[in-house]
A and B are shown apart, each in its own frame.
Chain A
Amino acid sequence: MSKKRVGRRTVQLDAPPSILSFAAIGGKLEKQGPLAACFDELCEDSFLGEKTWEKAESRMQQKTVQTALDKAKLHAGDLDYIFAGDLLNQCIGTSFGLREFEIPFFGLYGACSTMGESLAMAAMSIDGGFADRAAAITSSHFCTAERQYRMPVPYGNQRSPTAQWTATASGCCILGREGEGPFVTHVTCGKIVDKGVTDVNNMGAAMAPAAYDTISAFFKDTKTKPSDFDLILTGDLGELGHSIVRGFFQRDGVDMSKNYLDCGMLLYDREKQDMHAGASGCGCSAAILCGYLLPGLRAGKWRRILFAPTGALLSPTSSFQGESIPGVCHAVCICTER
């Protein structure tokens, strides 16, 4: 058995890689939200000066990588790998956004869990000795996601009360072998969990079992409990999914009520901004990680957090054919000390 594995599903990194720099870019609604100050840049124009929203999402990814590189005083050529993905068909937001950088590229699709997946892969590739520096990035854009999963925005679709709002945001972090931290210490890769939820307007409920599965596996493997963490954050379950996860843990006698939050509940002021169940999209958890969590860890606000973004692995075709929604959740433990 590998020396780096603890328990059945968790990887404990020997030399936890350091997060060297991070950047988050958001859109207009993110600017109106409570976390506006956390972003490196906020773009009022949903087109970001481009002709289409898809190009705008690519531009956002490109800007985010560039900002993260600038903050670390690095060049694209200094990165051995970039692990990246988005929500669009064939991940075009990423491939068009990152093509100019010429960084060796692993394309990922984990739906809204992509930030956890890319961060985990980057950390493991460094700890495994395959890279000195690697980047992880993902993005989402409200208008491209609507076209991808529902209807084009100009169609003017009505939203249902349990619907979440796809964030227009992007987050990137650059990891390296050495650095001042924070450090990625553990990774628990999620399984595909499907409990048969078919309601596409209620993805929080569909993903909640996956979040419970991965986080409870992490606690079991590392012999930890919620109180060992300053903060536990799931991806974008929204209000409903968050309460389902809490209920699952309560059933096991594990108290998650004190330090468990969900990225989907943080990004917007749900009352004032009429956001229904909260935010979703790859960019939501990515921007919260890169704009809120990592700076908070650096500032000493927290010392140990568990970041567990969740993804709903459906496609419009599978929904049309009446399939249920499989979920996945990847957990990454980030500490200020190695």
Chain B
Amino acid sequence: MDYLKAFLCGGILCAIGQILIDKTKLTPARILTGYVVAGVLLGAVGVYKPIAEWGGAGATVPLTGFGFSLAKGVEKAVAEQGWLGVFTGGLTATAGGIAAAVIFATLMALLFRPGDKR
């Protein structure tokens, strides 16, 4: 059941992105940053938390989940160390994801040669 929920949740988020690419003039880069910002905003107003609880990885792995983590991190850091947390909380909470992205990307670039698109 968890798998199904994650699939549905992630699938809906991706489908929205595909509709934005097909139907609007938004570039993929704008959609990407838009998703992160949307995750921050939805996280800040408390809408994303229940979605993440229901959808699991289907909500936390997509880019909106990254935004949600940023918001959550800031919230936590502000509670612990005051307003300085606005600056430190987001990146602290997402450090694992960012470091993993950099390390794995470097590793892949060393191991493989980029291929053609098709």
Contact = CB atoms under 8 A, between A and B. Distances in A.
| A interface residue count range (under 10 / 10 to 19 / 20 to 34 / 35 or more) | 10 to 19
Contacts of B116: 28, 46, 142-143, 153
Nearest to A51: B113
A154 B110 CA distance: 13
Given A158-B21, A160-B21, A160-B22, A153 B27 contact: no
A202 B21 CA distance: 13
Contact of B117 (A153, A160, A161): A153
B29 to A, nearest CB: 8
A29 interface: yes
Interface residues of B, number: 12
Nearest to A156: B117
Interface string B80-118: 000000000000000000000000000000000011111
B44 to A, nearest CB: 28
Contacts of B28: 151, 157-158, 160
A201 B114 contact: no
A157 B29 CA distance: 9
Nearest to B18: A158
Contact of B25 (A28, A157, A158, A199): A199
Interface string B26-38: 0111000000000
Nearest to A198: B25
A201 B118 contact: no
Question: Which of A146, A154, A199: most chain B Cβ within 10 A?
Answer: A154
A200 interface: yes
Contacts, number: 32
Contacts of A154: 114-115
Q: How would you classify the secondary structure of chain A's contact residues: helix, strand, loop or mixed?
A: loop
A200 B117 contact: no
A317 to B, nearest CB: 15
Contacts of B25: 199, 201-202
B116 to A, nearest CB: 4
Contacts of B115: 153-154
Contacts of B18: 158
B65 to A, nearest CB: 19
A200 B27 contact: yes
B27 A201 contact: yes
Interface in B23-64: 25, 27-29
Nearest to B31: A158
A154 B114 CA distance: 6
A90 to B, nearest CB: 23
A135 B8 CA distance: 58
A153 B114 contact: yes
B22 A161 contact: yes
A160 B23 CA distance: 9
B23 to A, nearest CB: 9
A161 B25 CA distance: 10
Interface in A179-215: 199-202
Interface of A: 28-29, 46, 142-143, 146, 151-154, 157-158, 160-161, 199-202
21 contacts: A29-B118, A142-B116, A142-B117, A143-B117, A146-B117, A151-B28, A151-B29, A152-B114, A153-B116, A153-B117, A154-B115, A157-B28, A158-B18, A158-B21, A160-B27, A160-B28, A161-B21, A161-B22, A199-B25, A200-B27, A202-B25
